[in-house]
Structure 1
Amino acid sequence: MRHLDLRSAQIFLTVVEEGSIAKAATRENLVSSAISKRLQELELSVGVTLLERSQQGVRLTPAGEAMVHHARLVVQAFNQMRAEMRDYAKGIRGHVRIRVSASSLAAGISEEILSFIAQHADIKLDLEEQETPLIVRDVVEGTADIGIGPNIFPSDHLQVVPYRRYDLALAVPAMHALARYSTVRYEDTLSCDHVEQPQSSALAQLLDYAAKQSSLIKRTRIRVRGFDGVCHMIGLGMGIGVVPIFLSSTYAQKYNLKFVPLSDSWARPMISIMYRDREALPFAARTFVEHLEASRSTGM
């Protein structure tokens, strides 16, 4: 019986992606019989059928679907290791895989990242902007070392360090009826058309949850990516929307908006630093976390 190995995992993924053993053989520069033998040995190794074969191609079994997830993690980890080893050979002393939300970038994390790079030229930061639910997923699954985003939907699998305040406000055109208020309840905005980010974003999910606590129905007129897009659409009169209040210094004058703080208790989340286990973080990742902690401002 053949042991599970990286090459078998890669060939299995190629077959899944191509949907055909023959096409996978062409892509991998192998004969079809060699691909079939690899798949058979792989299935013997794990003790279950992974693929159903037919004249139309291959189809994943439930076990095969689970195997795809694990195989991708294995291949991704190996490729990451190979890339890091090349960098170490060039003098790099550490890698930090970071996932960061758009709100964190807008809150000033970009400046702290630049500051860290200036002080630690021998540590490479692999930074990717993502929506908060995906950030949490990547850190939990180990494909990222550190996540930075609003702690709106915390995970029991992560350690969380508060970093910066993230008070939410209602952005409205300057001449809107709600612009004259000093604060506003979210429920009192639901009679208006709303502009929001995609439903996959943490803020959109939070607003959906808050709206469900009311007897009113939220009317989302348009969804756009990024807070700049949200504020721009509001400035054009497409509706009103909830955004971090610190964006007022950037967009109030640019789009002729008024930012009215929300009075709801849930409207004061915190941008946080997230990781699985501080003690298990690589030296470079711990160094980056300590750099952020030295500059954090939680308002507490």
Structure 2
Amino acid sequence: MTDLKYDTEFWGVIGHLIAGAKSPDFDDHVALRMHMEEVSRQLFQHVPRPAGVSETKYDIVSLDGTNIALHRFAPDSLKNATSPQRAVIYLHAGGMIMGSIDMFKPQIENDAVLNEVQFFGVEYRLAPEHPAPAALEDTYAAIQWIQANAKELNVDPARIALMGHSAGGGIAAGTALMARDKGLSPPLARLVLIYPMLDDRTTLESGNVLGKYLTWTSQNNDIGWKAYLGGRERGNRADVSIYAAPGRAENLEGLPPTYLEIGGLDLFKAENIAFAGKLATANNGVEFHLYAGLVHGWDGIAPTIRAFKQAAENRKRVLADF
């Protein structure tokens, strides 16, 4: 017996689209990447672009010497700010295998304007062409570059947050662990994880009722993790780094105060709950939200429902408080 069901408002928005529909199966990252990119393009082409935000692109060098792009989104509301400001380093979604700052630009611009904070989007390298730790090293290099250029960017180097959706949330969490272990100074001020992809060991048994609700399936997860881990099958391996799969970390002491949210119909639900529990056990500051009846990526699918407004208010409050 199960009480799993869609959020009533969410179903009202998308029920006619998904009733009886089956998630397509993919054999490799190429097919999955093409599908996800098309879905994302269709989704974001309808997102209104806000006025009052400017974008600047910087070329920076990752830890292994590779040149990557860092995009700065600065709201006009901060033009006359005389004191150093907060900054958010953002990692986009995409299952570790797809996506770009340009694709997710409408979302990032809206977040910068809504929260009145500079957002820095990292054009992190994608798997399988660039497996872990490439994306982690790109993100860590972005933190270092922003701190080194804080005066010119009008950023307070002690008030930098990492934020990511899905795969980006996993990269953010892994980079936060790397920053802790490398002794980053000043340390990160905040970690904001939106349904993050944290643990390569996550799977779903055949017949599990959750499977019929998944927008990011166990099969998709297998493809994404295999690509990110350099072609290795994901699972109970002993040689996977906690930076690549932060859900494997047992000791989360020393991480910045963390905000974490997940939908109740998401493959990552159990791993997210476990991660929040480890944060609490380590006496870290943690705020956790489980939104019943919502799927992976729900906030991009149904931005008009009450749950979205609640989540937006929570995120705004957290991003104002570091």
Q: Is the shorter-chain TM-score for this pair beyond 0.5, marking a shared fold?
A: no
Higher helix proportion, which one?
A: 1
TM-score by length of 2: 0.22
